[in-house]
Amino acid sequence: MQIGFNALAQRYKINPAQPLRVKSTIGSTRTSRETDDRIDNQYPASYQPEDSFAGHFEFGLKYEDIHLEFFARLFATIGPEPIEAWCQKAPYGQYARRTGFLYEWLTGQRLNVPDVDNGAYCTALPAQSYLVRSTPKRVKRWRVNNNLPGSAEFCPLVRRTPAVQKAIEFDLKTSLKALDQQFGADILMRTASWLTFKESRASFLIEKESDQTDRVQRFAHVIAQHCGHIENPLSSDSLRTLQAGILGEDALGLGLRLSPVFVGQATLREDLVHYIAPPFAAVPNILDGLSTFEAVTRGAEPLARAAVIAFGFVYIHPMRDGNGRLHRFLINDSLIRDQAIPDGVILPISATITSSINFRAGYNKTLDSFSKPFMQRYATAYRFGPIKTFADGTRSNFIFDEYEDALFAWRYPDLTAHVIYTANVVAHTIHTEMAEEARVLIRFQRAQQQLKEVLEMPDQDANRIIRSLKENNWQLSGKLKKEYPQLADAVTAERVITAVRLGFEDDLGGK
């Protein structure tokens, strides 16, 4: 026999886009079986709750995951009466008070019950189990401390699973300091420009637009100029500034989109839809909710905040173009604002994502953790009709019939998997990508110094010779000899080649 939230889902025919992870049943013994996306718990008969809304909902609050999308759908279906009856029967009960608060917070409707005038305050979310507000807000009416990390328009949840706790324990400052100690105190700052460009180029690789040289350079400039510095990066004005920096001021439809959007791919026969974004009319409010999350969680774990801000943004998909680049911009921006990384240091996150099949597959799998069940729920709710031109200039024939219903899912995503992925990517970026870039820079500088001991020349000429030798397998090209007549001398040429090769072949295990 099912109990808890699943029992209520069956009774009231509630089918959330993000499935309930926990299934509770009554059996002979207490057992638990967990997989990646499901937990099956069995309880002995002594745990049997009253077979009512209050009985099953209280059991769920005690023993199961908080699921805001499910709560919002359930409350919209059953209305206020069952909660009012529970609150009148147990006006001081912790679980009745929490439920009353959640109903009013999620629906915006006031229950017909008096304010609670006595009793200790309880929290809306167990802080040991979820990422919560840094400073809870006291709600006197219910004697509840509201520690929900967002607004009713957008409130993502992150479960503090063992995997999450392990991932967010990664200490960025200590790891960056270790790189300084290994390679030299200023090496990361001296690689900042190249790392910025590398991040920009790799970000376009993710979007399959690596040949867009001008846009790569523009994005690199946006990262260098605005990361950690632009006022309120999630405001519509700031997003327009960032988007214009990436696409150019002459791009069509700058600013928040005024048209429908889906993520997919075109084939000869039809467009394949992988994800549908919220309706453009709802985007400003949902984006404000993400801004609320950013504001109320300041002081919490930087890696968790960066993941939620960046992936929350990409699911909202508020811009006509440039969402992917802005998504990855926001990771660095958030970490700099939280002082988790020094101002001026850019983590080449996109370079890590594109560095291996595993990271790229992990990126897609992380996005799928929300989009795949979402699309399974709404697989038959979209279609293509007559082409229409929208206010931002977009011509589209995409029609989605369930925008109102899907708002429950868009507003309350579970982003636990996204935190784990982001933290692992950041750790790999520092330990592998940045360490390798530091080694390359030191090798290049060493080769440059040794070359100048053979032939004194400006840095620009030394760099030209070094790059040419590397690209030509340590052979002097005819073009290079014409540019630098000194290299026509065989003895000098051999000394130059040897000097440069030694610079790249030295042991760089330490500084």
pLDDT digits (tens, 9 = 90+) for 6-29: 999 999 999 999 999 999 999 999
Last residue of a domain, one of 95, 115, 146: 146
pLDDT in tens, 111-141: 999 999 999 999 999 999 999 999 999 999 9
- pLDDT recorded at residue 510: 40
Asked if the model's pLDDT at residue 31 lies above 90, the reply is yes
Tokens linked to 411: 């507003």
Tell me what percent of the residues of the chain surpass a pLDDT of 70. Answer: 92
Return the minimum-mean-pLDDT range out of 5-14, 276-285, 349-358. 349-358
Residues 264, 271: contact at Cβ < 8 Å? yes
Q: Are residues 42 and 173 in the same domain?
A: no
* Domain range for 387: 162-433
471 vs 212, which has greater pLDDT? 471
Residue 365 lies in a domain: yes
| Structure confidence at residue 83 as a pLDDT band (50, 70, 90) | very high
Mean predicted confidence (pLDDT) in 47-53: 97
Which residues make beta-bridge pairs with 122?
144
Return the minimum-mean-pLDDT range out of 78-87, 184-193, 276-285, 299-308. 184-193
Q: Are residues 343 and 221 in the same domain?
A: yes
Q: Are residues 212 and 171 in the same domain?
A: yes
Q: What is the CATH number for 233?
A: 1.10.3290.10
Considering only CA atoms, which of 498, 478, 497, 501 is closest in space to residue 488?
478
Contacts (Cβ under 8 Å, ≥6 apart) of 134: 296, 297, 298, 299, 300
Task: Supply the pTM of this predicted model.
Answer: 0.88
Mean pLDDT of the chain: 90
d(Cα 311, Cα 366) in Å, to the nearest integer? 9
Contacts (Cβ under 8 Å, ≥6 apart) of 445: none
402 vs 511, which has greater pLDDT? 402
Mean predicted confidence (pLDDT) in 69-89: 98
Pairing of strands 22-26, 39-43: parallel
d(Cα 22, Cα 43) in Å, to the nearest integer? 13
Which residues make beta-bridge pairs with 266?
271
Asked if the model's pLDDT at residue 388 lies above 80, the reply is yes
| Structure confidence at residue 347 as a pLDDT band (50, 70, 90) | confident
**Number of domains the chain is built from:** 3
Last residue of a domain, one of 433, 466, 492: 433
